[in-house]
């Protein structure tokens, strides 16, 4: 029975107004990434890091999923045992689209982590300055985002899912963080959707949709439905 793995990156949420590090005028240009997104930066100035993520959390509140999020959610919910959804994104737009339990590789903006007992809990869109651990009551709290210089434990899940995957669908990822090219080589079939061509990874995918994710969504959905039907 053929299984599909959706792996999404920043390009999935860009059309919903989520700022990305790589946009012109985006977060990379407004901040020194190593000051706000690294273990060393956090140790040096945790309040600056907290403020950075407080701002991003507040910006997320009114953002809505686009048709690509909804397409992924519809396939996941219709075929829960044959479709897996893993995202590099820390927003919750897949959840807002109704997707059941997508796996977040790099953490979630709407969640916080207790540094005393390691409890991860939902916090929503508010600042974290008055946050208290829901398990132990500690105020020693940090953002639940994987920073440069620390392990990303959910990557193990990604590669476990890849072993069961026959169709890999990558949406909005440049391959800079995750080597999606090598992943495509390990699967029977593959789709890559980016807004522009990326020759160094494009050539490893069997199907390319070089257009915004919202335009590609109906084409990807049709391809996936045909694949699921043909690989019972």
Q: Are residues 172 and 215 in the same domain?
A: yes
**With contact defined as beta carbons under 8 Å apart, do 162 and 103 qualify?**
no
Q: Percent of the chain, pLDDT > 70?
A: 95
Looking at residues 131-145, what average pLDDT do you find? 96
Q: What is the pLDDT of residue 33?
A: 82
Q: Strand 83-87 to strand 107-114: parallel, antiparallel, or no bridges (unpaired)?
A: unpaired
Q: Which of these three, 145, 167, 194, is where a domain ends?
A: 145
Q: Are 10 and 37 members of one domain?
A: no
Q: Which of 104, 106, 123, 144 is catalytic?
A: 106
pLDDT of res. 197: 97
Tell me which residue range forms the domain holding 129. 19-62+110-145
Q: Does 92 share its domain with 26?
A: no
Alpha helices in the chain (DSSP H): 10-13, 27-30, 33-36, 39-44, 46-60, 67-78, 93-96, 155-163, 180-185, 199-202, 213-230
The structure's pTM equals: 0.94
- The single-letter DSSP state of residue 14 is G
CB 218 within 8 A of CB 71: yes
In total, how many domains does the chain have? 2
Distance between terminal CA atoms of the chain?
5
Whether residues 115 and 183 fall in one domain: no
Query: Is residue 143 flagged as an active site residue?
Result: no
CATH number of the domain enclosing 27 = 3.30.1600.10
Closest C-alpha to 99, from 109, 110, 84, 82: 84
Verify that 168 and 120 share a domain, yes or no: no
Query: Which pair of structure tokens corresponds to residue 20?
Result: 């990305």
| The predicted structure's pLDDT at residue 231 | 86
Residues 132 and 225 in one domain: no
Q: Do both 27 and 7 map to the same domain?
A: no
**CATH code for position 192:** 3.40.50.1220
Give the C-alpha separation, 135 to 226, whole Å. Answer: 46
Let me know whether 141 and 173 are in one domain: no
Give the pLDDT confidence score for residue 26 in this predicted structure: 44
- 227 with 133, same domain: the answer is no
Give tens-digit pLDDT for 6-50: 999 999 999 999 876 655 444 544 778 888 889 999 999 999 999
Do 138 and 58 lie in a common domain?
yes
Q: In this structure, are 223 and 125 located in the same domain?
A: no
Question: What token pair was written down for 155?
Answer: 């990557």
**Separation between Cα atoms, residue 156 and residue 109, nearest integer Å:** 21
Domain identity same for 72 and 135: no
Please write down the HEC assignment for all residues of 27-38.
HHHHCCHHHHCE
């Amino acid at each position: 029975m053929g299984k599909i793995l959706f792996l999404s990156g920043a390009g999935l949420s860009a059309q919903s107004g989520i700022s990305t590090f790589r946009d012109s005028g985006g977060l990379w240009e407004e901040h020194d990434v190593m000051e706000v997104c690294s273990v060393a930066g956090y140790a040096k100035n945790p309040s600056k890091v907290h403020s950075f993520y407080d701002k991003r959390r507040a910006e997320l509140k009114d953002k809505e999923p686009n048709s690509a999020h909804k397409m992924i959610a519809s396939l996941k919910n219709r075929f829960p045992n044959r479709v897996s959804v893993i995202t590099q994104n820390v927003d919750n737009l897949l959840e807002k689209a109704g997707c059941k339990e997508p796996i977040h590789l790099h953490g979630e903006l709407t969640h916080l982590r207790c540094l005393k007992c390691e409890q991860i809990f939902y916090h929503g869109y508010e600042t974290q300055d008055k946050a208290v651990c829901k398990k132990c009551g500690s105020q020693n709290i940090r953002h639940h985002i994987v920073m440069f210089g620390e392990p990303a434990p959910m990557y193990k899940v990604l590669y476990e899912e890849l072993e069961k995957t026959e169709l890999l669908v990558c949406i909005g990822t440049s391959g800079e963080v995750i080597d999606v090219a090598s992943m495509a080589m390990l699967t029977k079939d593959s789709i890559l959707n980016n807004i522009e061509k990326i020759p160094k990874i494009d050539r490893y995918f069997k199907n390319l949709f070089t257009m915004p994710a919202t335009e590609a969504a109906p084409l990807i959905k049709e391809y996936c439905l045909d694949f699921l039907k043909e690989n019972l």
